[in-house]
């Protein structure tokens, strides 16, 4: 590969250079590729001697071999270090683990759900497939149901488990999709798509038709538990701040009682504290973190200045420049719109005569429908923050920072005929990953201040996964692009990473309780930095998920249904409220009145006043699942002002399954809103880490 820095970039120039090296018989057809956009260069076959001669030519920056690189993606599971599962004759080895996905349905024809290599459903499966003329199950998708209790369907709704939205298909493939080579969104994210546990079976519970109603969600929980699923994945949520008004918390409690862990998304209301949804202690609450791949889209102005924005832009303007106009200068006066409104480029606010055939600069990020309907060929939007995620739009688009947007605006005012073009999206490595996405909701837990939420973080930013080809990737109906994969972001994407990892653990430890699986995921998570993720533990909980390590955690913090009941009673709830969750005759008595601090949770949280002196004791019990004979020593990391002591500080196990208890005492004061610490039980082989957070909120 040659790389030339000169502004001129034509095939004739490259051909001339080659003729100087190889001979006059070389013509333009010899060029394998020629790069003409963001850098100048070309690809050609050369001998070692010819390459050395080329490297010595004036104007040539470098010559390097076209090395073969291994394809990556959907990158997230590789980034997390989870090995690609074994295959026989190119087929995934089936398992009997069943993941129930509550979402918008599934696209069964996707390669991600092909049942090649899968035998019949396991005998424990008691569910059914609501088949129809347009939907059938297979040995990968072994069950599918849809729910609409009120029978109110819109004209565009598909009354079957088929996914017309794309969201459910995306989520299901992240958790358990097959290995699919050469998956991409028109070349973006090119690689091998796979779920966290590709050998798992999938049971689909379509609870969302536009919205997702509580009654339908509870009905799905009811069916899924009876059907025999092992893990439930729920990438949806609401604004409930109590366990007793949250159907996901109620459903997850019943699932837990039946040995099923529910993995949930925590919402996209960040970065403010106190925005979390799905926070029950018996479910896994998953925040969204980044992976080491970043997509970016460049805007090139008529003065050849280039500004980097973000989007998922598959449109190709073929390097052609177009006039660029500011939305504030094109108000739709017929609709009584002035520039203070049109600068935001909302629907029907732009003058079509002024905008048609041009690129529009807008003051905020929009869906792009206002610009598209006005006839724009592209849009540049300003206001991007460094941690913003990329999305697809129905026209060529780039979302730039306020500073760069200001530079674009200044250029537009500096010339009579400003022009610009928007390039196709490209990708590069993000060296700062992982960190928590800005949009990811934050704790603390609104219902139990001393139970840390979220539990952990997992990839949820710009994730490539399967998609419904009838659903526009930009979510705009007039966008007619039909793709089988899409790149989207949200805690909806991080949740199935939790589900897939939990299924992986369940396959290795089929007798483990939901709490044991959750403990394994939390205590093996990779610690994250509050400097890079605002909100500290309220952003990422125990840290970033580490599926491979979680399969063998050493120790677990186990919890059963009676422990959770005692915990609820200890919070002061009445028997009536308790039964709203348990659905049975459970009651709160002195015998069941446990302390919130004593719930055997794998993390420690203490809410206090910054002016108060702290003195508190937590009681915990760990179960040995590592080496039969082992000795763990407590290693505590505590900031100035806090004293954290563990008693006993050494735990000696003589057999597997043995349980030993300890106390953790926190004393001192805090001088800021959130103070972080940690406890690690270390026997050299295993490091069992629990986050500790003391906060004033």
- Judge whether 537 and 689 are in contact, CB under 8 Å: no
User: Catalytic residue among 40, 167, 254, 497, which?
Assistant: 167
Instruction: Please name every residue paired with 663 in a beta bridge, in sequence order, or none if there are none.
Output: 619, 647
Separation CA 311–CA 297 (nearest Å): 6
Q: Which residues contact 306 (CB under 8 A, 6 or more apart)?
A: 38, 298, 299, 300
- Identify each DSSP E strand in 163-303 by its residue range: 180-185, 188-193, 201-206, 208-209, 211-212, 231-234, 261-265, 284-289, 293-301
- Judge whether 55 and 63 are in contact, CB under 8 Å: yes
Is the C-alpha dihedral spanning 352, 353, 354, 359 positive or negative? positive
State the DSSP code for 241. Answer: -
Separation CA 445–CA 139 (nearest Å): 40
DSSP code per residue over 363-431: SS---SHHHHHTT-SEEEEEEE-TTPPP-B-SSSEEEEEHHHHHHHHHHHTTSSS-EEEEPPPEEEE-T
For 54, list phi and psi in degrees, rounded to 5.
-60, -40
> Residue 615 class from Cβ within 10 Å (0-12 exposed, 13-18 middle, 19+ buried)?
exposed
Q: Is residue 79 classed as helix, strand or coil in its secondary structure?
A: helix
Half-sphere exposure of 690 (CA within 13 A, CB side): 26
Separation CA 278–CA 285 (nearest Å): 6
Half-sphere exposure of 549 (CA within 13 A, CB side): 18
> Residue 619 class from Cβ within 10 Å (0-12 exposed, 13-18 middle, 19+ buried)?
middle
* Annotated catalytic residue 103: yes
* Annotated catalytic residue 111: no
- Judge whether 144 and 106 are in contact, CB under 8 Å: yes
Query: Residue 172 is inside which H or E element, if any?
Result: helix 167-176
* Annotated catalytic residue 216: no
Report whether the peptide linkage leading into residue 434 is cis, meaning its omega lies within 30 degrees of zero.
yes
Query: Residue 676 is inside which H or E element, if any?
Result: strand 674-682
DSSP code per residue over 272-326: STT------TTSEEEEEE--SEEEEEEEEETTS-EEEEB-B-----TT--EEEEE
Separation CA 450–CA 604 (nearest Å): 7
- Judge whether 361 and 343 are in contact, CB under 8 Å: no
User: Catalytic residue among 110, 289, 342, 492, which?
Assistant: 492
User: Catalytic residue among 40, 78, 103, 404, which?
Assistant: 103
- Judge whether 165 and 146 are in contact, CB under 8 Å: no
Separation CA 86–CA 179 (nearest Å): 11
Report the catalytic residues.
103, 167, 492
């Amino acid at each position: 590969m040659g790389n030339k820095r000169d502004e001129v970039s034509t095939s004739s120039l490259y051909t001339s250079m080659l003729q100087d090296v190889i001979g006059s018989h070389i013509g333009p057809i010899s060029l394998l590729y020629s790069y003409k956009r963001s850098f100048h260069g070309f690809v050609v076959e050369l001998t070692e001697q010819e390459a050395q001669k080329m490297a010595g030519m004036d104007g040539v920056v470098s010559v390097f071999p076209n090395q073969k690189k291994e394809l990556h993606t959907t990158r997230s599971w590789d980034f997390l270090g989870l090995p690609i599962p074994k295959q026989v004759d190119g087929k995934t080895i089936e398992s009997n683990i069943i993941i129930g996905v509550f979402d918008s349905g599934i696209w069964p024809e996707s390669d991600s759900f092909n049942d090649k290599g899968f035998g019949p459903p396991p005998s424990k499966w008691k569910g059914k497939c609501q088949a129809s003329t347009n939907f059938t199950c297979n040995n990968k998708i072994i069950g599918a149901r849809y729910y609409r209790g009120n029978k109110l369907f819109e004209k565009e709704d598909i009354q079957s488990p088929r996914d017309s939205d794309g969201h459910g298909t995306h989520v299901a493939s992240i958790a358990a999709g097959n290995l699919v080579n050469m998956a991409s969104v028109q070349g973006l994210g090119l690689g091998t798509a796979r779920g966290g546990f590709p050998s798992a079976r999938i049971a689909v519970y379509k609870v969302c038709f536009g919205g997702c109603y509580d009654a339908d969600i509870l009905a799905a929980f009811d069916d899924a538990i009876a059907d025999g699923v092992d893990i439930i994945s729920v990438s949806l949520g609401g604004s409930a701040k109590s366990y007793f008004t949250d159907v996901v918390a109620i459903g997850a409690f019943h699932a837990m009682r039946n040995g099923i862990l529910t993995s949930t998304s925590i919402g996209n209301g960040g970065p403010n504290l106190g925005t979390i949804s799905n926070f029950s202690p018996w479910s896994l609450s998953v925040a969204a973190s980044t992976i080491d791949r970043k997509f970016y889209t460049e805007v090139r102005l008529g003065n050849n200045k280039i500004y980097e924005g973000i989007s998922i832009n598959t449109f190709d303007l073929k390097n052609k420049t177009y006039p660029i106009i500011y939305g504030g200068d094109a108000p739709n006066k017929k609709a009584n719109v002035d520039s203070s409104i049109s600068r935001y480029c909302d629907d029907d606010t732009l003058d079509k005569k002024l905008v048609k055939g041009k690129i529009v600069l807008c003051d905020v990020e929009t869906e792009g429908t206002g610009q598209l309907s006005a006839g724009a060929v592209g849009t540049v939007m300003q206001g991007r923050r460094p941690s913003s995620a990329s999305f697809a739009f129905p026209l060529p688009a780039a979302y730039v920072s306020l500073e760069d947007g200001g530079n674009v605006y200044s250029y537009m005012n500096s010339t009579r005929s400003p022009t610009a073009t928007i390039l196709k999206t490209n990708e590069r490595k993000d060296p700062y990953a992982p960190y928590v996405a800005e949009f990811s909701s934050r704790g603390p837990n609104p219902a139990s201040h001393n139970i840390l939420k979220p539990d952990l973080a997992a990839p949820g930013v710009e994730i490539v996964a399967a998609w419904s080809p009838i659903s526009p990737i930009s979510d705009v109906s007039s966008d007619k692009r039909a793709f089988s994969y899409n790149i989207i972001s949200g805690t909806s994407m991080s949740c199935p990473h939790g589900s897939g990892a939990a299924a992986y653990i369940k396959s290795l430890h089929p007798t483990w309780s939901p709490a044991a699986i959750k403990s394994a995921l939390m205590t093996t998570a990779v610690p994250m930095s509050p400097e890079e993720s605002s909100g500290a533990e309220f952003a990422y909980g125990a840290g970033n998920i580490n599926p491979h390590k979680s399969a063998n955690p050493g120790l677990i913090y186990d919890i059963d249904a009676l422990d959770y009941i005692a915990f609820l009673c200890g919070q002061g709830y009445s028997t009536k409220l308790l039964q709203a969750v348990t659905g049975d005759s459970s009651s709160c008595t002195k015998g069941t009145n446990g302390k919130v601090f004593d719930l055997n949770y794998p993390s420690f949280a203490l809410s206090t006043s910054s002016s108060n002196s702290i003195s508190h004791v937590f009681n915990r019990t760990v179960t040995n699942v590592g080496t039969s004979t082992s000795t763990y020593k407590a290693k505590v990391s505590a900031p100035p002002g806090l004293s954290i002591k563990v008693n006993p500080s050494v735990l000696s196990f003589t057999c597997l399954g043995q349980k030993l208890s300890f106390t953790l005492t926190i004393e001192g004061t805090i001088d800021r809103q959130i103070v972080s610490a940690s406890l690690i039980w270390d026997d050299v082989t295993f490091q069992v880490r629990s986050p500790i957070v003391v906060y004033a909120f």
